Structure 1
Amino acid sequence: MTEVITPPGRFNLPRWHELWEAREVAYRFGQRDVVLRYRQTAIGVAWVLLQPLASAGIFSIVFGSVAKLPSDGVPYFLFSFVSMLAWTLFSGLVSRASNSVVSNQTLVSKVFFPRMLVPLSTVFSVLLDFAVALALGIVLLLIYGVNPGWPILLVPIWTLLVLAFGMGVGLAASALMVKYRDVAYVLPWLLQIGLYATPVAYSLSAVPGRYHWLFLANPMSWLLECFRWSMLGTPVPPAWQIGGSVAAGLGALVFGVLVFQSRERVFADLI
Structure 2
Amino acid sequence: MSEIGKLYIVPTPIGNLADISHRALAILAEVDLIAAEDTRHSLKLLQHYDIQTRLISLHDHNEAQRALELINKIQQGLNVALISDAGTPLISDPGYGLVNQCRAANITVIPLPGPCAATTALCAAGLPTDRFRFEGFLPVKMQAKHQALATLLLESATSVFYESPRRIAQTVADIVEVLGAEREIVLAKELTKTFETFYSGTAADCHTWLEADPNHQRGEFVLMISGVKVNQSEVSSEAMALLTLLMKELPLKKAAAIVAEHYSLKKNILYQMGLDLNQ
TM-score (norm 1): 0.28
Pair member with larger Rg: 2
Query: Going by fraction, where is helix more abundant, 1 or 2?
Result: 1
Higher strand share: 2
